[in-house]
A and B are shown apart, each in its own frame.
Chain A
Amino acid sequence: MPRRRRLRKIVAPPGFKGYKPYGHRPNSKMVELLYEEYEAIKLADYDLLNQLEASKLMGISRATFARIYESARRKIAEALVETKEIKTVYGNAHMDENWYVCNQCHARFNLPDPTTASCCPMCKSDEINNIITND
């Protein structure tokens, strides 16, 4: 079995399960974008971090980051050119059941007392999601 890559830092999951092209001949072709690939694209092309900063944030080497980022871009290009659906999948990340991220204020937190209301401790929003973390 290949060794699992470890993502040390917890990140917010993508806010979607996939993207579908429209206005084309229907097909069932699809690319699978890993959560860490989504995160790499987000850090580099949305948050505009350089690769070294981004790799530190994800807790991986710069070379590993470059590989994940390159793979992410190729998949997105392939989806655009070949009109494929993009589906997001966990990849080497997984959801941490004890940790949450708030969709409103982006605070990350745990809920140690299961009897309390499941809402954000900072803004009281109930739009919270499990976080993706390392193994």
Chain B
Amino acid sequence: MKIAITSTQNIPESTFDLRFGRASYFCIYNTENNSVEFIDNENINANSGAGIKAAEKVIELGVSRVISGDFGPKAKDLLDKFKIQMVMLDDDSQTISSIIKQLNK
């Protein structure tokens, strides 16, 4: 299963990004082979619709779960339609690697 986690930088030590549509990077964690990949969010500066574009992006990447701080109503609707699980965390001081570690506990 692939899990997308919003990230402020493109390394595992980066802190978690609470923004979904305007996250700096998407970390794609593959639970099958334990691999981690960082994808640039090219829509970070979009004037509008960043949330829905981010949702389209993670759908295209084939993830089954997205971990972020919050999701806008349009992104929520689209992710819902594709049966992608949304998880919201409040703590933006945790790192991507600590989140992955928690998932594997």
Q: Which single member of A107, A110, A111 contacts B89 (CB below 8 Å)?
A: A107
Interface presence of B84 (CB below 8 A): yes
Contact (Cβ within 8 A) B87 A109: yes
The tally of residues in B whose CB lies under 8 Å from a CB in A reads 15
Question: Does B90 make an interface contact (CB < 8 A)?
Answer: yes
Decide: A113 and B103 in contact? CB cutoff 8 A.
Answer: no
A109 touches B102 (CB 8 A): no
Interchain CB contact under 8 A, A122 and B90:
no
Q: Return the chain A residue nearest B105 by Cβ.
A: A123
A122 touches B85 (CB 8 A): no
A: residues with CB less than 8 A from B are: 105-113, 121-124
Known A-B contacts: A112-B80, A123-B102. Give 15 more (CB < 8 A): A105-B102, A106-B90, A107-B88, A107-B89, A108-B87, A108-B88, A110-B80, A111-B85, A112-B84, A113-B83, A113-B85, A121-B85, A122-B87, A122-B103, A124-B105
